[in-house]
Every structure is written in structure tokens, then in C-alpha cells.
Amino acid sequence: MKTAEIAQRYLDYFEKKGHTIVPSASLVTDDPALLFTVAGMVPFIPYLSGDVPPPYPRAADVQKCIRTNDIEEVGKTPRHGTFFQMLGNWSFGDYFKDGAIAFAWDFLTGAESEGGLGFDPKDLWVTVYEEDDEARELWLKHSTLPDERIQRLGKDTNYWSTGLPGPAGPCSEIFFDRGPAYGIDGGPATDDDRYVEIWNLVFMQYEIADVRSKYDFTIVGELPNKNIDTGMGLERVAFIKQGVDNMYETDQVRPVLDKAVELSRKTYGADHEDDVRFRVIADHVRSSLMLLSDGVTPSNDGRGYILRRLMRRAIRSMRLLGVDGPSFAELFAASRDAMKEAYPIVETDYARLSQYALAEEATFLRTLAAGSELLDESVALTKTTGGAQLSGAQAFLLHDTYGFPIDLTLEIVEEAGLTVDRGAFDTLMQEQRERAKADARSRKGQLADTSVYRDFRAQGETVFTGYTELETGSRVLGILVGGASVDRATQGQIAEVILAETALYAESGGQVADKGVIVGPGYELEVLDVQKPVPGLVSHTVEVTTGEVAVGEAATTVVDAANRRAAQQAHSATHLVHAALRDTLGRSATQAGSLNRAGYLRFDFSWGQALSSETRTEIEEIANNAVRDNLEVTTRIMSLDEAKAAGAMALFGEKYGETVRMVDIGGPWSRELCAGTHVGSSAEVGLINLIGESSVGASNRRVEALVGQDAFRELAAERAIVSQLTSSLKTPRDQLATRVAELAASLKAAEKRIAQFEARALADRLPQLVSAAVSAGPVQVVAEALGAAASADDVRSLALQVRDRLGADTASVVALGAVVGERPVVIVATSEPARAAGAKAGVFAKTAAAALGGGGGGRDDVAQGGGTDAAALPMALEAIRTAAGGL
């Protein structure tokens, strides 16, 4: 039974049982405590917590998930995968334990011919929370399980909570027994791999508080609406139903594994270590493909870092299998073909997805080449000094700074006959993990408790009238001060105000929040920010500038019309720039992020190289031609499927409901799903002036533009500069660029001649400096100030010449100070006899730097120090004389 068929059977079954079928949410979640959707429940948290009224009493879905906390286990166990799919059925105050248990047993053991999965009851075990007698009795009622195959377990396995105050409850897990060939008898209580958990039923029935740990808390009472949250692992069910040993051999994953086998020319099943690598590749390539399809791109932080790590682990595993060259073209294509039935976007958008994958592979292969050179140097140095072990710090540097995997370091070092100080490396790695955990704890600790908005959201969604109105009368539903609900806010206080209706736009879709005021009887509030703390609810952060505002009072939102107009110009201009980019570069240049505020836009898009000045001009011209043509801007409300069928662009990372707003500019030329505010026709944008283009990642570029009056002011300022230059240089405007280039070339030539004169002047001082040598302790010391110098390299060259002129047999310390670019520099050079007497250039350089207010160091034979206090040069040189005399 194919994976996609299992998923469809599940949805069909629960649809017949009255469940609303909900499409999978994105892998990218807007929960600030999470990077990804890590569990099937994440999209439903607002409904389960009661913060947002559920739109349906019961639902079912197949949710995409990414979880990397067990990444080291991937490939080693039959069930650990970084990308997985959770089959879930949900009840929001509707059915409870009885219904959930009955549904689960019926679907699992129902005949395949009738839409079930056809599991043999003799292969199934169940666990319940040790104190949940009700769940145990219901299993005996609805199933044919004997008493001994319903095991009671403790809180650590069979009780669900988030570890925070809020909903919690016992759970019941269903396991499949793979048979005695896979482990010991005794059921799930043995915690043996023989028993594979396939389904978890969470009975969310209690409210907890005083949370001391995930399993230590106080139950304060039952929830008013008891919820059901279930999750069945699709990959786990698939490998059981397909008769294979693990999830990596299922139909959605195995093709990538087979392609890796083909490319490596090795045999799967012949070597345990190689088998783990094959499975890692299969899992990580699929996970990377799915993350890319949801708009994540490789980077050095956040979600992008996780994606980059997955890709690089796959490349590393291919290398350890003997494949040193590119392989992603074949591997990602294999994953595309395996996943396209379930997720058609991986095929329809494959050109864009593969562009990121191939660019990341090429970058990392270059990194590996550079890391190999550094490692070779470190190995050679270790051997030269008679060492047998590469330091853990050097191995960690290669790993952390250059992205060079530790197992490759171990492999190469072992081939050279050396070892790595793995203990020191592991210590450094652990310290890094602790820092990362501390950062995650800090981020989690900063989360706001959204339950404070629950009662307000229960009164309905905030109605946004700002598409057609700039003033809207309403009433105050609630006031928050310091995160707590209060009945009023007084003059001078900062508060959050919740209204039933508002004309003020809440920040979303790249468009910043409106500016404006809220006024009512005897009070005025300056609006500082407008946000949506929970879906469907708008909160206004305000300062009470006059009077006091109380819950229940009338309120009128007044939008700053000039700011809104300029923001609308910028947002519509963003759509025009996007369309112009796609006209110029092709359909693969899709939006990766944007920011629109009054008079300014920033637009990120997928593209792997810098735009030429000619291309930038073309994009700017196309966008401004659209402004000139006064294209009609229209908006329509329709279903998501209708909008996609009409060719509307759905932007990655954005979350859409079943009903969406489609914005057209010039009909299908620019057609996007967008909830932002826009001008009535393109001519109202006024002017678009592209002011910058830069890189924001290996495969992402950014353009910035000024819009409307701000664009005009920028061009007027540039015109004034050009006018001033033409007047000063007495050159016509069309010849100005040539004239400036000539002047720049003349200046560069003059600077070069001056530098030559200065270097010659320094060299002319060589005899005088040699004759200035004086005895200090066991060495001859030259410590002189040179005045100004063109570069530190000139000073270094002169110091080495003085040392050489004094003779190789002379114990000499040469310290020359100079001012380079207004900053003091001291170069110290020592001869071999001086070093034998204890004179180390690096130590002297640090001594001088301390006097100069800076830092320094270097090798024993030559070193450099510097600082900020040029007037202290004589003192710094005297400190070197004193130190040399004390040797």
C-alpha cells in the first residue's frame, strides 16, 4: 500500500465520520518559539488552547513536519526521520475518549476492501496512562485486545503537556509488534525497537498551573471544552504496510536511496556504516526538498541554517561513500519524482527548488576543497613538530568556521597516520550546544502568554474596514497594560486596546502598520503599533495622550491619510517590481520577502547572481512604464483554489485560509494573493527609483526602491549634485563621468608617486638607523620613531633591512614606530641570536601596544603592535628598550 494511498484512506475515513478535511499547514510556523512545524498539533494550538474559537467541531489532516532534535539518530533506527507526515483527527469540544478510541480501532483493523488499513489485532498493543481507568475500559469495550496487551505507563510516556501552564491530559499510544525476530517479548513497556508506536491519542482534559517541569505540575481543574489531539505517523504505518524494515525503504524515500547506491557504485545492505549513510542521504534530501518547497532557503541562521545543515550532511555522506563530485541534480530529481503525487508543488516549482539545491552543493564543495587545504597544512605542521595528534581546537575551527565535517577530518587525519584530540573537540562542541540551548530557552522565555486575548477573540474577529474607510466608529472590547487585562488606561500610559472594528492596518504581508489615532469621549490615543497577536484579532498599541479610556466606551480609529497613501504606493510598487523582475529574469525570480513602508520598498527574490546595471535599468523602466500606463488595480475575494487556477501567485511563507483576496494590476500581468492596501490605479504610484541591489544569501538577491515623492526627492538631490559637479569641473553633463574618471586616475597615480617617495625616504634612513643601535642587556637595540609612513608594510620592510644590516650573528632587536593613517604602528624584528637570549618580537609588540592603547602580537621573529594614541609612540619605544635591557 503506497504512502499516498494510506494518507487518502485516512482522510476519506474521517470525512465520512463528519470531520472537516484541513490542508497541511506550511513547515514554516509563525510561532516565535518554533522554527518549524514540529508536530501535527502546531497549526491547531490556537483552537486547542481556546485562544481562537475553532471554525469546525472536528477535523482531520495530513500535516507536514520537520524535527531535527534527533538528527544524529537518522539512519540508525527504523523510524527516525527529519521530515515526516502526521495523520491527525481532532475534536474541539465535540467527541472525547470514547469516540477517539472507537475511530482509531475501527480504522486500523477495518478491512482494506472497506477503506481501513487491515491491521491484524494480534499485532497491536496499547498503552494508557497508569491512572486513566476510563481509557483502559474503553479499549476493552471497543477492541478485541486482551487485558495484558493494554499496558499502564507513567507520566514520562503517557501524559501530554507543553511544559507551560495551560491544557494537558493523559494519552494512549498504539504500537505494532514487529515480531520476535526484532527483539524481546513483553510489549511497549520493554521500550524495545520491536514495538513501533504508530498512533498517539491525546485526551486534553485538564488545566494545569504551577508548572515545575514537564511532568511536575498542579492540575487546577478540568477544561470547559475537552479536546482530542491524535497523531499517527504516516511513514511508520507505511513501512509496516509495505513490508520493509524501516521508513527509508518506503516508496517516498527509497528512490533517493537507490540513486545514491547507483552513484556510489556500492551495495545497500553490505556494510552497516554505508547503510546508515545511504539512509541519511535519502532522508535529508527529501527533507531539504520539502523545506525548499515551503520557501526556506539556505543561510547561516535560523531555518536556513537547519536546511543548510541537512544539505551538507547529505553531501558529506555522499563523500564518505566515495562520491566527491556533484550529486544533487540526480538525488533531488529522484526525490521530486517520489513526492510529486502527494505534493505537486515539488514538480511544478522544481526549477526554483533545484536552483537553490545545486547552488548550495557547489558552495559546499568549494568549502570542502578549501577546508581540505587547511587541514593538509595543519597535518603537515603537526608532523613537522613531531606531534601525533591534531588539536581539538583546530578540528573545531575547521568544523565551526569552515563547515568542515568532523568525520571527514577524522578520515583524512587517520590516513595521514595521526589522530584527533576528540575529547577536546567534543568539549568545544558541547559548549556550543549549551550556548544554543540557552539561546532557545531565552527565546522561549520571551514568549507572550496569548491566553490573555482568549476572551476578546471569543467575541469574534476584528472587522477591518480600512480598505474603504479611513475612519471607523467602534467600541473598546478590552485594554491591556503590562500584559494584564484592566478596565481603563490613563494619560501617559502605554496600553493595548482591542476594538470590535478598526480602519487601522495591522502589520502583515510585508506592509508595516498604519499610523493614526483613536479618539473617543474625553480621550485621545496615539497609535504606536498595530498587530495580530492571535489569528483574527487586531491589537492597537497606544499611548494615552489625553484623558483616559475605559472598556465599553465608544472609539473611532482615524488613519493618518498621508502615511497610508504613501504606504499604498510602496505596496503597489512592490507588485510592479515583482512583475518586472519576472518579465526580465523569468518565472524562477519569485518573491522571498518584502517590506513596504511609506515611500520605500525592499524586495527579496530568488536569484543566484548580481544584476547588471543594464538589467536593473530594464526592470526599473518596465515598472515605471506600468505606472505611466495607468493600469487598473482590482481586488477580488474568492476561494484559494479559484485564485490559484486564475494564476495568482501565492507567496512562500505566507499562510492562506480557504478564502483569499486576489490583487490584479493590469489584469494577469501582476496577479498576487495579498491582504495589503493598494492604490486605485498604477499611475497613483507616481515614480519608482531603484536605489540598490545586493545579496542576501547564496541564492537570494534584494532590490530597494524609493517610491512617489521620496523617489522624486532622491532624483532631485542627485540632479543638484550633478549640477554642482558640472559647474565646479566646467564639464558638460554628458562628459562628466569621463572627467571624473580622469581625475580619479590622476589622483591614484599621484598617490602612487607619493608612496614611492615616502618609501624611498624611509629607505634613505637605513644607514642612520643602523648607526643608532645601542647595547641593552645582551642585545643591540634600535628603537626609533619614523614619523608618518604610507603603510605598515613599508615600516616592516625597513625593520627587516635594519636587522639584516646589523648582521645575522648580532643579537639585535629592531623596533620602528610610525603613524599610518593617523594610527600608531610599531614593528619589531629580532635576530636568531637575540631570540636565543630570550628576545621575542611578539612579546615586545604587546609591550608597545599596551602603551599605545591597543593590541599586538605575532611571531618570535617579527611582530606588530598598534593602538589609538599616536602621541605615546616615544613611550612605547622606550618600553621596548627597557624590556630588552631586562633580558
pLDDT digits (tens, 9 = 90+) for 600-627: 999 998 887 899 999 999 999 999 999 9
Residues across the chain: 887
**Residue pLDDT, tens place only, 859-876:** 999 999 999 999 999 999
pLDDT in tens, 109-159: 999 999 999 999 999 999 999 999 999 999 999 999 999 999 999 998 999
Residues 309, 291: Cα–Cα separation, whole Å: 12
Tens-place pLDDT, residues 644-676: 889 887 765 556 677 899 999 999 999 999 999
272 in a labelled binding site: no
446 pLDDT tier (thresholds 50, 70, 90):
very low
In this predicted structure, the answer to whether residue 365 has a pLDDT above a threshold of 60 is: yes
What is the third-level CATH fold of 564-716?
Answer: Threonyl-tRNA Synthetase; Chain A, domain 2 (3.30.980)
In this prediction, residues 55-69 reach a mean pLDDT of 93
284 known ligand binder: no
* Residue 444 predicted with pLDDT over 50: no
Position 445 confidence tier, pLDDT thresholds 50, 70, 90: very low
Of the listed ranges 512-516, 526-530, 817-821, the least confidently predicted one is 817-821
* pLDDT in the model for residue 431: 80
The overall average pLDDT reported for the chain is 90
Give the highest mean pLDDT range of 192-196, 234-238, 407-411, 752-756. 234-238
- The SS3 of residue 494 is strand
Fold category of 3-249 in CATH = BirA Bifunctional Protein; domain 2 (3.30.930)
pLDDT of residue 49 exceeding 90: no
In this predicted structure, what is the pLDDT of residue 811? 93
pTM for the complete prediction? 0.69
pLDDT category, 439, cuts 50, 70, 90?
Answer: low
The pLDDT score that the predictor gives to residue 654 is: 59
- Contact, 872 vs 852, CB < 8 A? yes
| Topology classification of domain 765-885 | Diaminopimelate Epimerase; Chain A, domain 1 (3.10.310)
> Is residue 680 over pLDDT 50?
yes
Would you say 678 is a known binding-site residue? yes
Give mean pLDDT, residues 531-549.
94
The HSE-up count of residue 580 (CA atoms within 13 Å, CB side) is 23
Q: Are 79 and 196 in contact (CB under 8 A)?
A: yes
Higher pLDDT, 165 or 686: 686
On whether 674 is known to bind a ligand per the annotation, the reply is: yes
**pLDDT confidence bin for 783, thresholds 50/70/90:** very high
Helices (H), 146-271: 155-158, 234-241, 254-264
Q: Which residue has the higher pLDDT, 384 or 21?
A: 21
For residue 443, what pLDDT is reported?
41
8 A C-beta contact, residue 58 and residue 94: yes
Region 78-106: mean pLDDT is 94
Nearest one of 455, 452, 453, 462 to 555, comparing CA atoms: 462
Q: Give residue 845's Cα distance to chain centre.
A: 42
259 sits in the region (left: phi over 0; alpha: psi -120 to 50; else beta) called alpha
pLDDT of residue 403: 66
pLDDT for 655 equals 63
Q: Cα 343 to chain center, whole Å?
A: 23
Banded pLDDT at 681 (limits 50, 70, 90):
very high
- Least confident among 91-100, 550-559, 751-760: 751-760
Phi, psi of 115 (to 5 degrees): 95, 0
Q: What is the pLDDT of residue 435?
A: 67
Q: Report residue 223's pLDDT band, with 50, 70 and 90 as the boundaries.
A: confident
Question: Which of 220-229, 377-386, 437-446 has the least mean pLDDT?
Answer: 437-446
88 contacts: CB under 8 Å, gap ≥ 6 = 40, 41, 44, 60, 61, 62, 63, 229, 230, 231, 232
* CA 599 to the chain's CA centroid: 28
Does the domain spanning 457-559 belong to CATH 2.40.30.130?
yes
Mean pLDDT value across residues 739-746: 90
CA 678 to chain centre: 30
Q: What is the pLDDT of residue 415?
A: 72
